[in-house]
């Protein structure tokens, strides 16, 4: 069967060139697997290389499924589920449940079951590739030239493969802060596989990972201190929602240290001594660096194929995910565009359709929904209030709702759910939605469809709510909380 490719807008029949494969993929994470199996579905001959499986990544360890499945989203969410039971036990008393005696938490049992699940998923991804007819090669891939990949083994052996097209989908790696004693800290990789649950945890960082692990460890009974550089955590999110998350973290017993960095770590008989840039000292069992991730591009020998990177090592790509080498492509975190697993899936699907499916399809990075799995979670789609005002030509109408969820009315938990809609006053178009509260990601996923379709506030208002539910608040907010003019654009350093 002839395999159609679309490059530079011209269709060509593969097979005329003497390559081992039509497509060689480096990295079998979410983007790499999606790109390879979709390309194979269009008739391409595809190979993919990936490092041997291990829950904690290293220079020679990885696994099919990549960061998200093995040491990211999936195991993190499992731990969030485990940590959430603490609040459920506390809330159950006023619902008539009488729990007599201590409630004990077995960290090792949860860890064992978490590891079983990611081992299972690693196998699932391998079966998916095999069923699609993709050749799987174990080892670390790097470029020899624009059409050749060299796969290296830990024992030093190497094998070379040629391909018409190469897709790089190697993701990113956690980075460490360069302070004295940094080797005593761990990253999210190790945090998901700790042999012992810490009783005292210090976390440096204010992003997704920092906030989520603060919730996880606190939910499992640890004392948690969270340090971050800004006034509020979650820089880049809506400022109002960031304040809500910070309040909820404190309400759950997490100690927040805004505008504070760590300056030194040292080993003592009692644990790890932590010194801050304000001279504070405390002792911890674990120090987690959750200070961002860096594109995993260092070992790829990109210069051999003329593939350009930016100052942090992210591969530069055009709107079709093509690198500076016309037949070398890149998707996912290694390109540092929107670093979310579903976005990598979208980019990889668009790549395969463009190159092998006879379609020119660009990934659309606008109105991408996302969630922070803190307890309770935050989820957003579209623009934040700051972004909406920055982009607006006219006024922005801000609709907010703050309420005590029905469940909390009985449990007496002091934790409100907050919802927010941003509307263009001239067009009535809904520009963004945010929610912090139970089930926020499940609710915002549905709202995201409406926003992607260009829904107006009138569309929301004409929708009948589901009662009783928290979600119905999104269709019952009738009066704007405030009207913001572009002339009063708020500048924030939070």
Residues 164-205 pLDDT 10s:
999 999 999 999 999 999 999 999 999 999 999 999 999 999
Report whether 210 belongs to an annotated binding site. yes
Average pLDDT, the chain: 94
- Please state, as a whole number, how many other Cβ atoms lie within 10 Å of the Cβ of residue 340: 20
pLDDT recorded at residue 9: 37
Q: How far is CA 73 from the centre of its chain?
A: 7
Rounded distance, CA 39 to CA 279, Å?
A: 56
Residue 230 has pLDDT above 60, yes or no: yes
pLDDT recorded at residue 404: 93
Report whether 447 belongs to an annotated binding site. no
Are 405 and 437 spatial neighbours (Cβ–Cβ below 8 Å)? yes
Q: How many CA atoms lie within 13 A of 121 on its CB side?
A: 24
Report whether 205 belongs to an annotated binding site. yes
The residues that bridge with 323 in the sheet, in sequence order, are: none
Residue 1 has pLDDT above 50, yes or no: no
pLDDT recorded at residue 58: 77
Rounded distance, CA 94 to CA 408, Å?
A: 10
* Helix spans in 156-219 (H): 188-191, 208-219
Q: What mean pLDDT is predicted for residues 441-460?
A: 98
pLDDT recorded at residue 391: 92
**Percent of the chain whose pLDDT exceeds 90:** 91
Scanning the structure block, which residue is given the tokens 């079966």? 127
Report whether 268 belongs to an annotated binding site. no
pLDDT recorded at residue 286: 98
Report whether 209 belongs to an annotated binding site. yes
Report whether 125 belongs to an annotated binding site. no
Rounded distance, CA 294 to CA 314, Å?
A: 8
Q: Which residues are catalytic?
A: 467
The residues that bridge with 483 in the sheet, in sequence order, are: 397
Q: What is the C-alpha end-to-end distance of the chain, expressed in Å? A: 58
> Of 354, 373, 351, 72, which Cα lies nearest the Cα of 216?
373
Which pLDDT band holds residue 101 (cuts at 50, 70, 90)?
confident
Report whether 171 belongs to an annotated binding site. yes
Report whether 155 belongs to an annotated binding site. no
Q: How far is CA 192 from the centre of its chain?
A: 15
Report whether 281 belongs to an annotated binding site. no
Report whether 292 belongs to an annotated binding site. yes
pTM of this structure: 0.93
pLDDT recorded at residue 57: 76
């Amino acid at each position: 069967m002839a395999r159609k490719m679309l490059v530079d807008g011209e269709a060509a029949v593969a097979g005329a060139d003497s390559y081992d494969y039509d497509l060689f993929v480096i990295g079998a994470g979410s983007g790499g697997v999606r790109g390879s199996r979709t390309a194979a579905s269009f008739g391409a001959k595809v190979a993919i290389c990936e490092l041997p499986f291990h829950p904690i990544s290293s220079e020679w360890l990885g696994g099919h499924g990549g960061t998200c499945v093995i040491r990211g989203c999936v195991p993190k969410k499992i731990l969030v589920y485990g940590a959430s039971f603490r609040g459920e036990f506390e809330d159950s008393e006023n619902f008539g449940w009488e729990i007599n005696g201590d409630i004990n938490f077995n960290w090792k049992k949860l860890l064992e079951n978490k590891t079983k699940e990611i081992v299972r998923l690693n196998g699932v991804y391998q079966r998916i590739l095999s069923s699609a007819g993709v050749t799987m090669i174990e080892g670390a891939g790097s470029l020899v030239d624009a059409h050749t990949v060299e796969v290296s083994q830990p024992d030093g052996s190497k094998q070379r493969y040629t391909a018409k097209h190469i897709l790089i989908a190697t993701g990113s790696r956690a980075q460490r802060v360069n302070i004295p004693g940094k080797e005593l800290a761990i990253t999210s990789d190790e945090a998901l596989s700790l042999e012992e649950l810490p009783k005292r945890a210090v976390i440096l960082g204010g992003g997704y990972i920092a906030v989520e692990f603060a919730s996880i460890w606190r939910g499992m009974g640890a004392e948690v201190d969270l340090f971050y550089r800004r006034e509020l955590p979650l820089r880049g999110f809506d400022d109002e929602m960031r304040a809500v998350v910070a309040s909820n973290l404190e309400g759950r017993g997490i100690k927040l240290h805004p505008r504070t960095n760590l300056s030194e770590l040292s080993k003592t008989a009692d644990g790890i001594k932590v010194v801050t840039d304000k001279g504070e000292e405390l002792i911890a069992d674990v120090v987690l660096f959750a200070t961002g991730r860096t594109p995993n591009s260092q070992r790829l020998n990109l210069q051999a194929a003329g593939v350009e990177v930016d100052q942090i090592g992210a591969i530069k790509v055009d709107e079709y995910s093509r690198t500076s080498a016309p037949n070398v492509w890149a998707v996912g975190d290694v390109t540092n565009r929107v670093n979310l697993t579903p976005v990598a899936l979208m980019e990889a699907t668009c790549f395969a359709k463009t190159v092998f499916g006879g379609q020119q399809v660009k990934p659309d990075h606008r109105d991408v929904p996302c969630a922070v799995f803190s307890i309770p979670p935050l989820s957003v789609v579209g623009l934040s209030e700051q972004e909406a005002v920055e982009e607006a030509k006219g006024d922005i109408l801000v609709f907010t709702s703050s309420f005590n969820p029905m469940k909390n009315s009985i449990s007496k938990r002091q934790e409100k759910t907050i919802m927010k809609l941003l509307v263009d006053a001239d067009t009535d178009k809904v520009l963004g939605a945010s929610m912090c509260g139970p089930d926020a990601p499940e609710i915002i996923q549905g709202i995201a469809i409406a926003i992607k379709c260009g829904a107006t506030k009138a569309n929301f208002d004409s929708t009948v709510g589901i009662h009783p539910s928290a979600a119905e608040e999104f269709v019952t907010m009738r009066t704007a909380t405030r009207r913001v003019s572009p002339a009063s654009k708020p500048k924030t350093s939070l």
